[in-house]
Amino acid sequence: MDAVVDGVSLERALSAPQPSVHLLPCAINTDGPCKVDQYFNTTFQANADSDKLTDFTASFRGRPLRGEDITLPHGFTAIILREDKKPLTDKQSRHFNVQHSFKTFRYWNLDKPTSGDDTIRKALDWLTLSVAVHSPVNSEDTDS
Domains along the sequence of the chain with CATH: 3-133 (2.40.128.680)
**Residue 44's pLDDT is what?**
59
Asked if 11 and 21 count as a contact pair (C-beta separation under 8 A), the reply is no
Helix, strand and coil percent figures for the chain, each rounded to 5: 25, 30, 45
Mean pLDDT by 10 residues, the chain (144 residues): 85 87 84 71 59 71 86 90 88 91 92 88 87 80 60
Q: In 43-121, where do the E strands start and end?
A: 45-46, 55-60, 63-71, 78-82, 94-102, 104-110
| pTM listed for this prediction | 0.76
**Residue 143's pLDDT is what?**
57
**Residue 68's pLDDT is what?**
87
